Amino acid sequence: MSELATLGGGCFWCLEAIYQHIDGVEKVVSGYAGGENSNPTYEAVCTGKTGHAEVIQITFDPDKVSYGKLIDLFWTAHDPTTLNRQGNDTGTQYRSVIFTHSEQQAESARLSKTEAQRKYREPIVTQIEPIPAFYPAEDYHQDYYQRTPNNPYCAVVIAPKLKKLGLK
């Protein structure tokens, strides 16, 4: 039976491209979570006024990849010590956040965060909170790297990240 994991760590295109390479991950959907408005749009989220973060929702087979392994990758897939920013992407919509789907996920995420902190000099600022609601992003955001690998953002930001993580 499949499970869900919802993560935010900067631009959703980056995390989507990373997790699409992981065995046991069945589907990755870019979207928004953590804000007050129902059915937010990309334009509204980009204002930073909706409270939403750009996130990915991962459907995975826990018999093939554990939630813990997905979270362990999360700590190296972005910089969890920068508040409301990843690289040149700034604003609360780019915050580092783990939205949990159960108390078991919450406990696993907290323990993993404590372990990951040993690898960083600066404090990890990642929020861990229950998922309030998830809203899929517009179609043109889905599978972005797969569809547009030659886009400058993909070539300059995503491709080197995939290479660094040994995924390309």
Q: Is residue 163 over pLDDT 80?
A: yes
Please write the tens of the pLDDT for every residue from 69-88. Answer: 999 999 999 999 999 999 99
Topology classification of domain 3-164: Peptide Methionine Sulfoxide Reductase; Chain A (3.30.1060)
pTM over cut 0.95: yes
Beta pairing class for 3-9 and 25-33? unpaired
46 is catalytic: no
User: Apex CA 86: angle with CA 72 and CA 130, to 5°?
Assistant: 55
Q: How buried is residue 105: exposed, middle or buried, by Cβ count under 10 Å (0-12/13-18/19+)?
A: buried
Annotated active-site residue in 11, 14, 46, 154: 11
